[in-house]
Structure 1
Amino acid sequence: MENHIPNIINEMMSTTAVYDEHSLTVEEVLNLPDFAGFKLLGGSSGLQNRCKHITILETPEGISWLTGGEFLLTAGYALKDREDKKSSMILDAHQRKVSAVAVKENRYFGEISKQLIDDANTYGVPLIEISRNVIYTEAISSFYNMLFYRKNEYILNLNNIYAKLLDLSFENKDVNGIIYSLSNLSNSNVFLCDRYLNPITYNIIDSSSYDKLANKIPFSKKGAPAVKEIKDYCINKEIMGVYISIYPLVRDNKPLGYVYIVNSSKLDKLAQSSIEYGISIISMKLDIDQARSFSQARLNKTLIEIMLNNKELPDEFYENVEKDLGWDREGHIVGICIKIHIKKDTHIDECKNSVYSVLNNILEKGNYLSKDKKNEVFVFTNIEARAHLEEVVSKIVASLQDYDDAYLVAVGISNVYKRIKNIEKMYNEAYLAALFSNHDSIYFNSLDTIKLLYPLKDDNEVHEYYNRTIRKLEKYDEDQGTNLLETVECYLRYNFNRKIAASKLFIHVETLRYRLNRIEEITGYSLNDTEGIFALQMGLKLKKLIKIK
């Protein structure tokens, strides 16, 4: 697919027309390979409409949410029983300044009426019929790849021999391949780090110069922060007998990451040229990956919410989702909930972006569905063998722990299922498991008592039991400004060891004893006998269950 894009751009460059770098015409979109075989049914006067985004429409009210400049894709599922919405689709699209509407043939939309075609001609909104085999994710990726290359056409204007040599070195390589080529061309150790200075990939040419910094951040998460303090652009800065050059990667005034060059000697001009050109390619690739992630996330969220909120979807719908993801082969589908706990002044969106970066590095790109909600990221992926699940989860947890200076995570893992049709079970199980995770990973099938109690979370007796135990402490803390609930949780967590519990609570042991006596007075349950311990432990578990909603 990507091989076609440079050819299309070269054709654009051979003309004298001036192109808007922030959009594509409808005609240019239809010339992408993914739309081969399209039929233009009406609205040919709008083929030069500008498309800023490509958007999937699978909700009846979706057009009202648009802001203009969208190339709209739909299979018509959400409109199949809404003739009112279907008949006014082109008029609604025109009023929202939609650039074009493409409908999958022989799916849910049904026959495209003469009225819709007439409206398309009247309002200049191209109405297109596309093959039912068009895969949304690939079409969206093609669009944003093309749009991104449009924004960066200046790179293709490099016409000196050295740039052509670099083109040959970097052509068709991913970020790992570019770092490898960059390292060899400049004869340097090259490290690519994310915005938190966690290594993404690297290539070491001269181990002796690397060894001198092996215990320094970002080359190690341990050791003195001598390197971490240096994030600004610099060339040939000497540290501990080696030379470091730092290139911040920035797009739209937002940091994407950093490239560190470590060498035993200073970079010469030729090496600097290689690196600077390579870094422009890396930034471009990272931007493409981000565009793909955004488009994929948008599609994923739509798919997941359709499956979670509609109980009567046909089996064909689930089969198509599995086929598009390549999950129709033998495998095991699992849900993972990653709950984010921010430690300092970090925006939650930045945290989520780093989580998605980890997922893209560990899971096969395009082989998972995801959605985020407040401070949680939900992932549904296909694992070839159950034995691999623990390995994948361990890698995710270990990678996310690299961000522990910004946030902590609790990871919950659902049971394994054969079909994506069980997505609601996976969602609930992963979420419930994450609630009981202590900043590590926990599997739903290990919850034992909680797993048995979960179906009873709405039962009146469960709420009454909670009210008789833990709710009394919560109410007392709210009224008196005390910390009795935190005290009982800490005391139980550290196995009734008063010395350790008092230390963790930053209070004297005698203060702890006083608080435990107050807990008994308020709840009627003593932490000195098994019945009281069981009652309060169960109350804490029920508290988490009740709070799930």
Structure 2
Amino acid sequence: MSRQNGITVEDMLKLEVMEDCKIVAGFKGIRNTISKVNIMADPDIIDWVQEGEFLLTTAYSFKKDDAEEQKRLIKECSRKKLAGIGIKIYPYLDSLPEEVINLADHLDFPIIDIYYSIPLSNIMTEALKEIFNKQASLLERIEKVHEEYMNAMLEGNGIGELALIVSENIKNPVYLSLDFCNENVEIFDGVDEDIKEFFRKDIKKFYEPISTRSSLKRLEESKVLINGKYIKRMIMPIIVKDNIYGHIFTWAINTPLGGFDLSILESASTAIALGVLQELSVKEVEIRYRSEFFEDLISTDLKRKKKALERAHFFNLNYNDIYIIEVMSFKFILNKGEEFFVDYVQDYVNKVVSIIEDIISNLELHGIVASKMSGIQILLGFEKQGTEQDKLKEFNDLLERELSKKFENMEFKIGVGRAYKGLEDVNKSFSDALKTIRTGKVLTDKRVVTYDELGIFKILCQDFLTEELEDFYNGTLKSLADYDKKKSTELVKTLESYFEHNGNLKKMSDALYTHYNTILYRINRINEITGMNLDDPNDRLNLEIALKIKELLVK
């Protein structure tokens, strides 16, 4: 909504100058806010009016028998979101046509019959004076509320106190959701339990994955149906560095929501955003410090490693615990044409790190979270050997669920290293995790992959074997791959299907939608081109390993 601070149509009717005036249509719009008053000298003024204005005119230009023209005026005023219109009907008309009255009632657009002897300029002067006084009072109140916000922030009272200030000033229920610290505050005092439950469902629906409303970087103003009555609702996003970190919800259960309330929400959103920005700055320093420690800990430089081991107690890491390192990589799928800036990535990294730290804390684990570019490293410590696998699975299940729920546009992969006793050997777990995440990307669609799940790839993914693997591939499968590329055939695909179906040609035929005799012909061609025989167990093993090596080499 645009900010409309002023007086209501009802307030205007209470002015002394309006004593002999009366509302004749659009009674339900009597609480529309008037922010300005304008006088209509000719019909072209409609092109220049603004939302919230109250228009004053006479029926001088109205043609007695032309109700359609009058209806067009009312429709256009309503479309422009004017607060209402005051018409000096007499002596130009006896009354407005009934169909014009009905239209205004339908649109909830107030029409006031101005008493014929009252100068329009007098009404304009008195109304503007009242609007000015009201706006000055509102500004004073807004400034006072802003002071309350700042004092609460400086005293470190937390977002609960800010939410309470919002609720006390707009006199309606308030819900504050802050993703940054996964903190939610609801102030539903004096509200029936069934309505409270409605609020909670309304909030949950707002954050549903199928809804895009939670990603909008502007105020959402709408109406919701509560107990058979439409209630106005405002949702203000909390934005930091062009990124949404939460929302403030309020519903007009007790009093109407207007321009003053919008100012209160905006001010609260700004105050909270400043607090989030401060926390982000601190968080970035902490992450950088932990990342430097982590780099030293896994370093091959003995001096750096020793320095890290001496500082380990600052991070509550015990030297002789069991340690596992996880490496996480991710990318974000943005809207078409949207650029991906480095600071934008860092905002996401900070959010992910916060989620991981919360899970570590909730599960009462020891560990640290570090980051480098768009990757994250997680060091987890376990006091007793034999308990780490169950706790690790619980940690990863919870982490995968939370990341999937919080970041729909993020694709991520987590590689989990083996467990090693003692901080001095964590670099081994880190090496395992790196191999796991590199190899896991080409082996499986699973988001979390452990080193033990790699099978034979635990051998094949060793860095020092790269040249040997290339030589092995060149001597076994490369000729078949080159033949496919040159002749546009599918012999490698057929060979993959052969191992997938244990050499059952009938199942291969069904899976490849290819005639049995064609499959048989392809098998013979594979034997001829590779110089191997699939009936020979050694050749069969070599070709199967070569297919796995191919996956690694083309990743």
**TM-score bracket for this pair, using the shorter chain length:** 0.5 to 0.7
Aligned equivalents of 1:516 and 1:453: distance in 2? 28
Tell me the CA shift for residue 239 of structure 1. 5.2
2:266 maps to which residue? Answer: 276
Q: 1:245 maps to what in 2? A: 234
1:359-410 Cα offsets, whole Å, 9 max, x none, are: 212315995242335x643333445662432222222212222366423222
Gaps of 5+ in 2: 1-140, 189-194
Is residue 236 from structure 1 mapped to residue 221 from structure 2 by the alignment? yes
* Matching residue's letter, 2:455: D
1:443 equivalent in structure 2: 450
The residue correspondences of 1:481-492 to structure 2 (distance < 5 A) are none
Structure 1 contact 469–535 (Cα < 8 Å) conserved: yes
Q: 1:214 to 1:534 in 2, by over 3 A?
A: farther
2:173 matched to 1:187? Answer: yes
CA distance in 1, matches of 2:348, 2:502: 36
Letter in 1 for 2:196: S
Displacement of 1:257: 3.5
Q: Assess if the C-alpha contact under 8 Å between 2:142 and 2:264 holds in 1.
A: no
CA contact (8 A) 2:298 2:426 kept: yes
Q: How do 1:389-408 residues align onto structure 2 when only pairs under 5 Å count?
A: 389-402=392-405, 405-408=408-411
Tell which has more relative contact order, 1 or 2 (C-alpha 8 A, sep 6+). 2
Partner in structure 1 of residue 196 of structure 2: 207
| Superposition TM-score, scaled by structure 1 size | 0.54
Q: Does 1:261 align with 2:244?
A: no
- Give the counterpart letter for 1:354 in structure 2: Y
Query: 5 Å matches for 1:24-43?
Result: none
1:347 equivalenced with 2:340 (yes/no): yes
Greater CA drift, 271-280 or 438-447: 271-280
For 1:513 and 1:242, the matched residues in 2 are separated by 68
Is the deviation greater in 426-435 or in 376-385?
376-385
Cα offset, 1:414, TM superposition = 1.1
Deviations 1:26-67 (A, max 9, x none): xxxxxxxxxxxxxxxxxxxxxxxxxxxxxxxxxxxxxxxxxx
**TM-score scaled to structure 2, two decimals?**
0.54
Question: Contact 2:324/2:416 (CA < 8 Å) preserved in 1?
Answer: yes
Q: Which amino acid aligns with 1:317?
A: K
Judged with a 3 Å threshold, the aligned counterparts in structure 2 of structure 1 residues 439 and 315 are, in CA distance, closer, same or farther, namely closer
Q: Distance in 2 between matches of 1:421 and 1:526?
A: 49
CA contact (8 A) 1:498 1:509 kept: no
CA 1:503–1:334: 2 relative to 1, 3 Å: farther
Q: In structure 2, which of residues 300, 308, 326 is the aligned counterpart of residue 336 of structure 1? A: 326
AA paired with 1:389? Answer: L
Partner of 1:84: none
Task: State the alpha-carbon separation in 2 of the partners of residues 409 and 501 from structure 1.
Answer: 33
Superposed CA deviations along residues 436-480 of structure 1, whole A, max 9, x for unmatched, are 252421221333333345558527654433334454455456656
Q: Who is 2:376 aligned against?
A: 377
Evaluate the alpha carbon distance shift between residue 251 and residue 260 of structure 1 in structure 2; reply closer, same or farther with a 3 A threshold: closer
Deviates most, 395-404 or 511-520: 511-520
Q: 2:419 aligns with which of 412, 416, 419?
A: 416
Number of equivalent positions: 378
SS of 1:415 mapped into structure 2: coil
Q: Larger C-alpha radius of gyration, 1 or 2?
A: 2
The answer to whether the 8 A contact 1:183-1:189 is kept is no
Shift of 1:514: 9.1
Deviations 1:481-530 (A, max 9, x none): 777667766886799999999999xx855699599656666546688997
TM-superposed CA distance for 1:322, in Å, is: 1.0
- What 5-or-longer segments of structure 1 have no aligned partner? 1-157
Please report how far the alpha carbon of residue 245 of structure 1 lies from its aligned counterpart in structure 2 after TM superposition.
2.7
**Which residue of structure 2 aligns with residue 426 of structure 1?**
429
Distance between the aligned counterparts of 2:418 and 2:259, measured in 1? Answer: 56
Q: How far off its partner does 1:432 sit? A: 1.8
**SS of the counterpart of 2:326?**
strand
The one-letter code of the counterpart of 1:202 is: N
- Other structure's SS at 2:465 match: coil
Q: How does 1:209-224 map to 2 (within 5 A)?
A: 209-210=198-199, 213=202, 216-218=205-207, 220-221=208-209, 223=210
Match of 1:245, as an amino acid? Answer: M
Which position in structure 2 is the counterpart of 1:359? 353
